[in-house]
Structure 1
Amino acid sequence: MPLALVTNDDGIDSAGLHTLVRAALDAGVDVIVAAPAEQASGASAALTAVRQDGRTVVEQRDLPGLDVPAWAVQAQPGHIVAAALNGWFDPRPDLVLSGINHGANVGRAILHSGTVGAALTAKISDTRALAVSLDVDLHPSGDRHWETAAGLVAPVLELLLESPDGTVLSLNVPDLPAAQVGPIRHARLARGGAVQTRVEEVRDGGVRLSEVEVPDAPEHDTDSALLDAGHPTLTELRSVDAHDSELVQKWLAGRG
């Protein structure tokens, strides 16, 4: 039975994380949890952590209604995954599940996501990973449909476990009842993301930034557009890699 590390960037107390743990257990996966002790959204793949005597601060925790080993870590999700896959746990996790994120992770803006950053950090260690996100708006009201996302974890896990080592998948799910959700669609990344950063105020000694939802309609076959149309989207992501182009080669040849 595969062993999954479940983490996120919303913090160990988040409803999305607990839902993902239950979904993984229901899919027949063993689980250990190590997640930020506090909110760590926007951390990308940062490796920063709070340390005492040179050691990352870790506290073992009990999760409500869940009988799994769990640790609250004073660190970013990327740091947690790097530690988990490089000697912290024995046995070493076979895969990483990150989420369920409170908000979509779509478009090129996923570069900044701690949820996606955790999954891409797993790829560096040739470990399969899945990032799961629920398309909650910036100012949510009412109940969130975590179980809609949870219901898609098992079939996507089947695909992931049959894929080569280092495969990273990103699943985005509409915040709708399962009966109102369309079939999963493959999607390319939109140019931007569901949320963008804007400069709100410039003053001597500081700049104020705010997050705003993107007003423009995305291209029709992108993850943003398909998600808006009620489809869960599934995208395979690549980590840092060299681009096979002639740009640098031509430049160096010209200098010679």
Structure 2
Amino acid sequence: MRALITNDDGVSSRGIAVLTRVALAAGLDVVVAAPHEERSGASAALSGLEDGGRLRSTRTAVDDLDVDAFAVHASPALIAFVASRGAFGPRPDVVLSGINHGPNTGSAVLHSGTVGAALTAVTHGIPGLAVSLAGSPGRAQADPRDDPRVGTDASGRSWDTAADVAARALRWFLDHLDPSHVVNVNVPAVSPAELRGMRSARLATFGAVQAEIGDRDDEFVTVRFDEIHTENDDDSDASLVAHGWATVTALRPPTAVTVDTSELVDTPD
């Protein structure tokens, strides 16, 4: 089974290397194609094509792993889109997006380039899995707002946790392939010993960050994004991740709903 691995943090990000190792350990035939630089917040934007429809791409390496890898001057969604048409070799059977640096929880998944790549895949009939690691992986978390129940990440062991959860999620994902939805997984930034387990979760009504508007005049507006620290004890993805659980949420791509438009539309002759 052939897997395309991408994300919105860039082809040289640690999350790409971790997810690639997980996919290879699962026996997948892997090709990596990810943005040449960070494209966070790209959502499902199809950006990157130059004049004449050219897409810039350079062969690169992912650590010491024996995989084809490409640094692409494009958004992750466009990468998934063109991959479905054979841009990086045979059409992939699955798209694995991540491991993202930072959570993709709540309604803010709408803006995630990592989730956007997986959503683009499923709209083209390719099952998609997105994995994200919350917190500040690899750095000590001295912020007193951090939930003390889930400990700290001074040793960077959260990447071990992310790899373990990704491997578990990938096994389930491959046994239940379904291109009708994205499997969205979020991992707390804790050591493997501190992980409380894995739970299904609904989307929180908010995302991982909120926007604050500062100074403004006729030429600019200052926008600051602050991380939201939830203390709610509910079954939302944001709350469960904050309390040390890995979460899994199925996301449906855009779809039409039935609304009574009889007063708006014209009646056929």
Residues 61-80 of structure 1 mapped to structure 2, 5 A cutoff: 61-80=60-79
Encode CA deviations 1:17-41: one digit per residue, 9 max, x unaligned: 1101001111121110000000100
Unpaired segments ≥5 residues, structure 2 = 141-153
Query: Which range moved further: 159-168 or 112-121?
Result: 159-168
Structure 1's 165 and 215: CA in aligned 2 closer, same or farther, altered over 3 A?
closer
Which residue of structure 2 aligns with residue 154 of structure 1?
167
- TM-score with structure 1 setting the length: 0.92
Residues 84-95 of structure 1 mapped to structure 2, 5 A cutoff: 84-95=83-94
Encode CA deviations 1:209-251: one digit per residue, 9 max, x unaligned: 111012554461100111111100000001110123x332465
Cα shift at 1:159: 2.3
Residues 122-141 of structure 1 mapped to structure 2, 5 A cutoff: 122-137=121-136, 140-141=139-140
Cα shift at 1:204: 2.1
Residue 23 of structure 1 pairs with residue 22 of structure 2: yes
Distance 1:200 1:96 in 2: 39
Cα shift at 1:108: 0.3
Contact conserved, 1:125 with 1:166, CA < 8 A, in 2? Answer: no
Structure 1's 47 and 219: CA in aligned 2 closer, same or farther, altered over 3 A?
farther
Distance 1:208 1:139 in 2: 29
Distance 1:215 1:165 in 2: 33
Distance 1:218 1:247 in 2: 36
Contact conserved, 1:6 with 1:31, CA < 8 A, in 2? Answer: yes
Q: Secondary structure at the match of 1:165?
A: coil
Residue 206 of structure 1 pairs with residue 205 of structure 2: no
RMSD of aligned alpha carbons = 2.1
Contact conserved, 1:57 with 1:73, CA < 8 A, in 2? Answer: yes
Structure 1's 34 and 182: CA in aligned 2 closer, same or farther, altered over 3 A?
same
Residue 176 of structure 1 pairs with residue 193 of structure 2: no
Structure holding more strand per residue: 1
Q: Secondary structure at the match of 1:172?
A: strand
Unpaired segments ≥5 residues, structure 1 = none
Contact conserved, 2:22 with 2:163, CA < 8 A, in 1? Answer: yes
One-letter identity of the residue aligned with 1:49: G
Cα shift at 1:76: 0.5
Q: Secondary structure at the match of 1:108?
A: helix
Contact conserved, 2:137 with 2:159, CA < 8 A, in 1? Answer: no
Residue 13 of structure 1 pairs with residue 12 of structure 2: yes
Q: Secondary structure at the match of 1:175?
A: coil
Distance 2:187 2:170 in 1: 15
Aligned residues: 252
Query: Which range moved further: 69-78 or 188-197?
Result: 188-197
Identity of aligned residues (%): 43
Structure 1's 44 and 219: CA in aligned 2 closer, same or farther, altered over 3 A?
farther
Cα shift at 1:179: 1.1
Structure 1's 209 and 143: CA in aligned 2 closer, same or farther, altered over 3 A?
farther
Distance 1:110 1:135 in 2: 13
